[in-house]
Amino acid sequence: MSYKSILLNLGIDGSVEPLTRFGIELAERFDAKLIGFCAADAPMPVTMAPEGAAIAAEIWEQSRNEIRQRLNDRHSKFDELVVGTVKAEWRETVENPDHVLARASLLADLVVTGASLGASTGDGYRMADPGSLVLRAGRPVLVAARGAASLPLGQVVVAWKDTREARRAVADAVPLMAIANEVTVVAVDTNPDDWIGDGIKDVSSFLAGHGIKARTEILKSEEEGNRLIDFLASVKADLVVSGAYGHSRLREWVFGGVTRSLLDEVWLNRLMSN
């Protein structure tokens, strides 16, 4: 089991170098093809006057031309960084980044993206929403820590809950856990019982079948998200593996949830599956 193609989502704004180097290092580890990707669009200006429609259309096209120039600049920088390292290609488009990135995900075994604003969307015309990507990609999504140029794998933590999403995430992350120095499977619950203990033992057994030795930890807490974040900080986790949106996304936005909490921890590298 390995990753043979990696889709690297680069934003239209800010420096592309750290995340591109992150993607290159990952592709080198797995001898994978690296697909650089960037998409953005501009909103159509709103006008109430009929005579303003032509002006609005002209302004819109100017904005989209500026985006095309930025896409070209990002393509050039990507090529400059990648040359002589890994197999690579580039894709770009002037479209809504959420929609087109979800479609492009079928090209890859793993999608890598940044999320410098955490769970917040920011300008939906200029950056992909990480939560939307996890829900729609149909692929594991590795959300890189803010400013990270590499992925250390000294300590990988599996945030376990017995859900379809978490089971998928564990399987998706096997290639990364197989080359990690340490792997810990942790469960947080208000009232841990034998069922939870048996569950994390089963995760450990599954990983052992792939040659991965994992220790297990059960934490009792009524504040699942906060307790998990504290644990990740205490063990200096390099990567956390988790299912995403076991509850509906709307419920997480209204009431909070572990997925949203993890997305907001921008110092973390997070691999999520849905």
Domain-by-domain residue ranges, the chain? 5-144, 155-273
Residue 254 has pLDDT above 70, yes or no: no
* Banded pLDDT at 50 (limits 50, 70, 90): low
Residue 70 has pLDDT above 90, yes or no: yes
pLDDT at 124: 84
| Amino acid letter for position 18 | P
Q: List pLDDT tens digits, range 196-215.
A: 999 999 999 999 999 999 99
* Banded pLDDT at 48 (limits 50, 70, 90): low
Span 74-88, mean pLDDT?
A: 98
Span 180-189, mean pLDDT?
A: 96
pLDDT at 36: 98
pLDDT at 35: 98
Residue 46 has pLDDT above 80, yes or no: no
Span 181-204, mean pLDDT?
A: 93
Q: How far is CA 80 from the centre of its chain?
A: 24
What SS3 state is found at 81? Answer: helix
Mean pLDDT lowest among 53-57, 82-86, 222-226, 268-272 = 53-57
pLDDT at 171: 98
How many Å apart are CA 59 and CA 177, to the nearest integer?
49
Assigned CATH class of 5-144: alpha beta
Residue 255 has pLDDT above 70, yes or no: no
Backbone angles phi, psi at 48, to 5 degrees: -95, -20
Contact 274, 245 (CB under 8 A): yes
| Sequence-ordered list of residues with C-beta below 8 angstroms from that of 102, at least 6 positions apart, any chain | 132, 133, 136, 137, 138
Q: List pLDDT tens digits, range 132-165.
A: 999 999 999 999 999 999 999 999 999 999 999 9
Residue 252 has pLDDT above 50, yes or no: no
pLDDT at 44: 82
| Amino acid letter for position 54 | A
Average pLDDT, the chain: 91
Residue 119 has pLDDT above 80, yes or no: no
pLDDT at 247: 53
Higher pLDDT, 78 or 253: 78
pLDDT at 246: 62
Domains 5-144 and 155-273 equal at CATH topology level: yes
How many Å apart are CA 21 and CA 24, to the nearest integer?
5
Number of neighbours of residue 156 by Cβ within 10 angstroms: 27
Higher pLDDT, 171 or 127: 171
pLDDT at 53: 76
What are the angstrom distances between the C-alpha of 178 and each of 1, 17, 51, 167? 10, 27, 63, 16
* Banded pLDDT at 227 (limits 50, 70, 90): very high
- Between 3.40.50.300, 3.40.50.720, 3.40.50.620, 3.30.960.10, what CATH number should domain 155-273 receive? 3.40.50.620
